[in-house]
Amino acid sequence: MARRFGCIYLAAGLLAVLTARPYAGSWNDGSRLATVESLVDHHTWIIDDSIYVTPDRAAEQPYAPGSVAAQTGTLDKLLIDGRFYSDKSPVPALPMAAVYQLWRWAGGPSAADRPDWFAQMLTWAFAGLPYLVAVICVGRIAGHVGVPARWDMILVVSFAFGSLALPYAQHVNNHILLLAVAAAVCEAAVRPGPLTTTRAAWLGLLAGFGYTIDLGAGPPLALALAGLVLWRSSESGSRWPRVLVFFLTASPLVALHHALTYSIAGTIGPANANPAYLQWPGSPFTGPQMTGGWNHPSVPAAGLYALDLLFGKKGFLLFSLPLLLGVFALPWLLSHPHRERPVTVAMTAWALATWLLYAATSRNLSGMNLSIRWFVPLLAPGYLVLCVVVRDVPSWRRDIAVLAAGGLILTGELVWRGPWYGRVPTLYWPLVMLTLVAWGAVVAHRLRRSWGGA
């Protein structure tokens, strides 16, 4: 299987290297990079002295030339006891800081001296590499599921070069990192054979790390995996050893996250959900712009916003066209008996919980970025669903080809724009409409043939 997809993996790796940007593109990645710089060069979680807070401290501009962040520094920050901290979850900063520390011990220049080298190195390691891991996992998922030849290539190419995964590999961000975790979860969950203790431990480790990456999508993922391990363990008896191993491997990272959050912000819950920490002059995240609480004027308004997250001008499903078929096929798939049903149910529950949680606790469509950045990790279970659909429903395979073609064309512009592009891409509406019309024609042709046969 690795040989069949070798060219795809190689192309994905090269694109991850070539498209990585040598600067921070927004407040988002600037905030994460500020923490890494501060931990290594200033030995503190406080980011006041970072070049990403005060760009004038750097030997050269650490942000994209002409960007708002180049003028303001990162505004993704919390004011706690008179000092600024990043609003990003703390645990992912630790492996990033470890890589940067090795670089410094090897004689590499500081972030302040060479912000371009600093940003590109961490982007390769913590955005490009996770992207490649996710692509490889999707290739392995196609092999485990038994997707027919040619169609498995179409699915992997679609994921690698026709989805939001590639644009989000251009800068450091939590979402591409969680996508790699989610893809590894799906790959482990669909491997043939019973759930072994080793695999339960691996799923626990992934659940724990996923929990620490994104406090909106991470905890629901951990809960979904706990349910999956319980379900799969009951299939082969001796349930509790596997369940215990899962919780033992997940717990240390979860505990580390909460310990670090408490030491920084004095709270067990997400620090960036505390309105008091966002009350500083010039803060853009007050009132409705704050994520983490109910800010909708009514329940119907929240419902419309939830639909906007999926189908609006930044709609996740319209930026991820093949997933439209996955959503359409989901009711059939959840009721149809197949080997992947447990993981399909668990990952569907995770996707629904993540969608509803962000729909209830946000109003800003995830800020200035392509589509809905919070949902990028949901590409992994989406493509798992597509693998099962392509294997079990041959009549729907042409639908995949049409939707994947639209996604490939759109992604070309998305890579050019970069993940922090906040406007509607030029090709977005024309291409979405054209692809939907073509898909409708395929569906209509299939229905005519079906009725003719009847």
Given a contact cutoff of 8 angstroms between Cβ atoms, the answer to whether 291 and 270 are in contact is: no
What pLDDT, on the 0 to 100 scale, is given for residue 66? 85
How far apart are the C-alpha atoms of 180 and 321, rounded to whole Å? 20
pLDDT tens figures, 105-160: 999 999 999 999 999 999 999 999 999 999 999 999 999 999 999 999 999 999 99
pLDDT tens figures, 234-246: 776 677 889 999 9
What pLDDT, on the 0 to 100 scale, is given for residue 289? 63
How far apart are the C-alpha atoms of 290 and 196, rounded to whole Å? 42
How far apart are the C-alpha atoms of 173 and 21, rounded to whole Å? 13
pLDDT tens figures, 152-161: 999 999 999 9
Q: Which residues contact residue 182 at a Cβ distance below 8 angstroms, ignoring those fewer than 6 apart?
A: 134, 210, 221, 347, 377, 378, 379, 380, 381
Given a contact cutoff of 8 angstroms between Cβ atoms, the answer to whether 135 and 159 are in contact is: yes
How far apart are the C-alpha atoms of 139 and 174, rounded to whole Å? 22
Does residue 449 or residue 101 have the better pLDDT?
Answer: 101
Mean pLDDT to the nearest integer, 7-24: 97
Question: Would you place residue 30 in the very low, low, confident or very high pLDDT band (cuts 50, 70, 90)?
Answer: very high
Tokens 């008091």: give the residue: 276
What pLDDT, on the 0 to 100 scale, is given for residue 250? 98
Tokens 């004038």: give the residue: 56
The token pair at 76 is 């993704």
Q: Model pTM greater than 0.85?
A: yes
Enter the DSSP assignment of 128.
I
Residue burial 224-243, b: 16+ Cβ < 10 Å; e: rest: bbbebbbbbbeeeeebeebb
The token pair at 345 is 């149910």
Mean pLDDT to the nearest integer, 347-358: 97
Write down the number of H helices and E strands in the chain. Answer: 18, 2
The pLDDT mean for the chain works out to 94
Res 89 pLDDT > 90: yes
Enter the DSSP assignment of 111.
T
pLDDT tens figures, 379-435: 999 999 999 999 999 999 999 999 999 999 999 999 999 999 989 999 999 999 999
Burial class (CB in 10 A: 0-12, 13-18, 19+), 59: middle
